[in-house]
Structure 1
Amino acid sequence: MHPLDNTNVESFTIPGAKVFDRYFQCPLDYANEATSRKIKVFVRHLVPVDKVSEMKRMPFFLYLQGGPGFECALPSSASSGWVKVAFEKGYQVLLLDQRGTGFSTQIAAESLEAQFHTDDEKVDYLMNFRADSIVKDCELIRKRLTAGRTDKEETRLTLLGQSFGGFCILTYLSLFPKSIQNAYITGGVPPLVDDPDKVYRALYPRILKKNVLYYNKFPADIARVQKIHKYLSTNGVTLPNGGNLSARRFLQLGLAFGGSGGYDAVHAIVQSAANDLDRLGKLSFRTLSTIQTTQSWDTNVIYAILHEAIYCQNKHSSRWSAERILNEAPFSKIFEWRLENLYDNRPIYFTGEMIYPFMLDDYAELRPLKNVANRLAETRWGQLYDIHVLNNLEGVQVAGVSYFDDMYVDRKLSEHTASEVKGFQQWITNEYAHK
């Protein structure tokens, strides 16, 4: 049965759209497709309410979520935003939960423990959850949904990728360029590197600039962060879910500096925590709960255990790149967290989108995966991008926006990548933030 003819699919409406919840059986390991176990991949299929009868002829617009390791949320409405624009251009929209996220065979410490007996099995399993496998899922879904179409142009996808979704798009262009008609990237033109070292050497100075801007806006937070840091360095603090709130973990709140409103959000937590120490002599449950829910590495573990792997290809491994680069000069002196090395009048700088080995002890949901994550950090990964294919693209329009002050994706590395993709139209702006 053609997927679009399946009347058993759960469906409902939101303003402007009929939504179909679709599941696809995909091979876990595409290198051994015939014998591989299957996993379930979930897609929300949105169709304009007045065009449901035209589904079999309308082209598809596929959205790839940022991350890695985050599911794609259901929009509250299709009557505004980019979904409305896609509808007006004649598309139906696919919102993919990338494998391992949301309803697509979600990965968590508990699910891995239920399925596998050894860490070897877990590592082998998790090696199939990078961009290359995500893209192959998309290609399988594209073929199934466009089966029976005689016009080849009507079988091609238009793609939109945010952040890590843009990384996936470049892999899609490398593997299946003839399956794509248009590709649009927002804040996610990936660096064409073989490992993350160059990425982090460029990232730490950008985070330093963000810290300077933060403390310029909230100068009283210099003393507040020092007080909080000293407290966390001299007291064991447990979060509601059993995780440790160490000084280093607290400084990871700087991840928010790259998004709209991020400075204010961090300031609110800093102000709340400092106020707790003044009135209670400890951090309140409310503050601890806010910090825990602000940091998503417990709920989206792929974001931690496979984050550095998104930069690895051509038989290279990450080897805890962010930690290694942090210990290089001058970063080891600038981003110092050890209490004995800090001075009373020195701002303590937050870190950002880096993954560190200490997280495997501090985050409750990462602890069971400590050995697995260490093994993955030593894994030598296969190819993600084919520069020859990207240099010679034909018949596909590619455009992307990069941001001057993007904390998450280096603009200069993105400009180099854009120069390697034939016909890439790049817009660089400071009008918007990464998210």
Structure 2
Amino acid sequence: MSTYRQPGLVLTDRHYTVPLDHEHPDGETIELYAREIVASDRADRTDLPWLLYLEGGPGFGARRAVGPQDWIGRAVREFRVLLLDQRGTGRSTPANRQTLPLRGTPAQQAAYLGHFRADSIVKDCELIRRELTGGAPWTVLGQSFGGFCATHYLGAAPDGLATVLITGGLPALRAGADEVYRAAYPRIRRKNEAHYARYPDDVERVRAIAAHLHEHRVELPGGGPLTPEAFQSLGIMLGGGDGTHRLHLLLEDAFVPTPAGPALSDAFLEAVQTHLSYAGHPLYALLHEPIYAQGPALGHGPTDWAAERVRAEFPEFDAAKALTGDGPVLFTGESVHPWHFTTDPALRPLRETAELLAARADWTPLYDPEALAANQVPVAAAVYHDDMYVDTAHSLATASAVRGLRTWVTDEFEHDGVRAGGPRVLDRLLALARGEL
């Protein structure tokens, strides 16, 4: 273990070896990385309870921060915090276009990735907890997909939990991917409407960019084409508290004059590349629909590119059709499509693997409604009104199905509330879970 200091904090690197498949604990293993954080004036205390943070995603390593920023500053006033790089992410054994070919064929890669959903992540957490806390239960804070994992945790291993705090991450318990996206597109449309009401000049800016991409082949600095559909996916920014403003600033100087006529500027394309590339989080693309897969036990088939299929039910998101009229071109949101695996160089080598995951039918359900209905663990959840990423109605239905769960429904924050308003959000959830409010 390596220990080092940042302003106000002592940090320790921790490494764990866990089974790839927890059903076969003597089989292949993978490595997990986690960063312990404790306040410098409490570093010598051995009685501090633990708080495990589960990042959103899937496919993102735990947040990297310098000093006691955001919710971390509040958490270290009473906890030792563990930031886990969930399997396949961050400094844990990586899973990407460079490493997955070591698994063998695309079929073998897809089988390997079948062990990277919430059920396996929770089993990892339980192995770490028993080693780290001596068996004592800990508090879990789950953001977005981390909340999906925390909800699975409540049903699968409640004895390991002292308290559960969820921010923007109460999943539908029985819905599959089709239902998730059917609920998502109207929310995404509302975010577009709000953006264009705030920045009406962006209607023509976006139409001009989409028309240019429809008429010209444009390459991003990383080598992939910027298609109209890829450009539309910048709408994922609209789910964050300042996303509408950052999107506007990105769009406002997209074009520069050139001898051949107006062209999209290098600066614009570089910024777009940063937002659209999956090089740093390929598991997000590969596993985004499998995290919603509930399998035949709940009457669901393969995910089969649900976001792409369901999008056809919402023709207002068709950029080519929008350009034939005078209305706005709508951005899309948090969705992954087959074309991502042809336009993004970081994903192209994984196209066949992604197709196999989309075709897989034998997924197991992720949540245990009976166990959740009998829950004894204190649980509090922030539910963001009209959250673009997680359907509010689904979240509230799940809240009512988990015994004792207390909700804070707010429109003060968007999906990133735990970062934008971290100390206040964590304070509120702890008070709810402790019965202080």
Q: Tell me the TM-score normalised to structure 2 length.
A: 0.90
Q: What residue in structure 2 maps to residue 188 of structure 1?
A: 169
Q: 1:251 aligns with which of 223, 232, 250?
A: 232
The residue identity in structure 2 corresponding to 1:307 is H
1:265 has 2:242 as partner: no
| Residue 281 of structure 1: how far off its partner (Å) | 2.2
Counterparts of 2:277 and 2:364, CA distance in 1: 27
Q: What residue in structure 2 maps to residue 231 of structure 1?
A: 212
Counterparts of 2:260 and 2:73, CA distance in 1: 50
Is 2:256–2:262's contact at 8 Å kept on the other side of the alignment?
no
1:99 has 2:87 as partner: yes
Counterparts of 2:259 and 2:152, CA distance in 1: 51
SS across alignment from 2:263: coil
Counterparts of 1:189 and 1:275, CA distance in 2: 44
Counterparts of 1:137 and 1:27, CA distance in 2: 8
Counterparts of 1:277 and 1:432, CA distance in 2: 42
Gaps of 5+ in 1: 1-8, 150-154
Spell out, residue by residue over 1:28-56, the C-alpha distance to the aligned partner (whole angstroms, 9 max, x if none). 1112112x21111000011222333333x
Is 2:37–2:76's contact at 8 Å kept on the other side of the alignment?
no
Q: What residue in structure 1 maps to residue 98 of structure 2?
A: 110
Is 1:193–1:311's contact at 8 Å kept on the other side of the alignment?
no
Is 2:277–2:344's contact at 8 Å kept on the other side of the alignment?
no
Cα distance change, pair 278–214 in 1 and its aligned pair in 2 (3 A):
farther
1:349 has 2:336 as partner: no
Cα distance change, pair 276–185 in 1 and its aligned pair in 2 (3 A):
farther
Counterparts of 1:227 and 1:314, CA distance in 2: 43
Spell out, residue by residue over 1:132-169, the C-alpha distance to the aligned partner (whole angstroms, 9 max, x if none). 1111111100011123x6xxxxx001011111110010
1:71 has 2:61 as partner: yes
| Residue 278 of structure 1: how far off its partner (Å) | 11
Q: What residue in structure 2 maps to residue 133 of structure 1?
A: 120
Is 2:39–2:77's contact at 8 Å kept on the other side of the alignment?
no
Counterparts of 1:194 and 1:130, CA distance in 2: 16
Is 2:9–2:40's contact at 8 Å kept on the other side of the alignment?
yes
Counterparts of 1:353 and 1:276, CA distance in 2: 33
The residue identity in structure 1 corresponding to 2:71 is W
1:275-314 maps to which residues of 2 (within 5 A)?
275=256, 281-314=262-295
1:11-50 maps to which residues of 2 (within 5 A)?
11-34=3-26, 36-50=27-41
Is 1:196–1:321's contact at 8 Å kept on the other side of the alignment?
yes
SS across alignment from 1:338: helix
Is 1:40–1:104's contact at 8 Å kept on the other side of the alignment?
yes
Counterparts of 1:68 and 1:212, CA distance in 2: 27
| Residue 343 of structure 1: how far off its partner (Å) | 2.5
After the TM superposition, which of the residue ranges 346-355 and 189-198 deviates more from structure 2? 189-198
SS across alignment from 1:243: coil
The residue identity in structure 1 corresponding to 2:368 is D
Cα distance change, pair 236–279 in 1 and its aligned pair in 2 (3 A):
closer
| Residue 218 of structure 1: how far off its partner (Å) | 1.7
1:426 has 2:376 as partner: no
Q: RMSD of the alignment, in Å?
A: 1.7
The residue identity in structure 1 corresponding to 2:53 is Y
Counterparts of 2:369 and 2:320, CA distance in 1: 43
Spell out, residue by residue over 1:164-209, the C-alpha distance to the aligned partner (whole angstroms, 9 max, x if none). 1100100111110111010000111111134111111111111111
1:323 has 2:308 as partner: yes
Q: 1:202 aligns with which of 178, 183, 197?
A: 183
Spell out, residue by residue over 1:116-136, the C-alpha distance to the aligned partner (whole angstroms, 9 max, x if none). 331111111111111111111
Cα distance change, pair 44–274 in 1 and its aligned pair in 2 (3 A):
same
The residue identity in structure 2 corresponding to 1:28 is L
| Residue 302 of structure 1: how far off its partner (Å) | 0.7
Counterparts of 2:63 and 2:392, CA distance in 1: 27
| Residue 377 of structure 1: how far off its partner (Å) | 0.6
SS across alignment from 1:158: strand
Counterparts of 1:260 and 1:86, CA distance in 2: 22
Is 1:193–1:312's contact at 8 Å kept on the other side of the alignment?
no
State the 4+ residue runs in structure 1 displaced beyond 6 angstroms.
Answer: none
**What number of residue pairs does the alignment pair up?**
411
Q: What residue in structure 1 maps to residue 72 of structure 2?
A: 83
The residue identity in structure 2 corresponding to 1:81 is D
The residue identity in structure 2 corresponding to 1:45 is E
Is 1:227–1:274's contact at 8 Å kept on the other side of the alignment?
no
SS across alignment from 1:50: helix
| Residue 296 of structure 1: how far off its partner (Å) | 4.3
Is 1:335–1:350's contact at 8 Å kept on the other side of the alignment?
yes
Q: 1:145 aligns with which of 123, 132, 138?
A: 132
| Residue 270 of structure 1: how far off its partner (Å) | 1.8
| Residue 234 of structure 1: how far off its partner (Å) | 1.6
Is 2:165–2:379's contact at 8 Å kept on the other side of the alignment?
yes
| Residue 280 of structure 1: how far off its partner (Å) | 5.3
Counterparts of 1:402 and 1:364, CA distance in 2: 36
SS across alignment from 2:324: coil
1:386 has 2:378 as partner: no
SS across alignment from 1:303: helix
| Residue 298 of structure 1: how far off its partner (Å) | 2.9
Is 1:131–1:171's contact at 8 Å kept on the other side of the alignment?
yes
| Residue 336 of structure 1: how far off its partner (Å) | 1.1
Q: What residue in structure 2 maps to residue 4 of structure 1?
A: none
| Residue 275 of structure 1: how far off its partner (Å) | 4.6
| Residue 104 of structure 1: how far off its partner (Å) | 0.7
Is 2:234–2:332's contact at 8 Å kept on the other side of the alignment?
yes
**Identity across aligned pairs (percent)?**
40
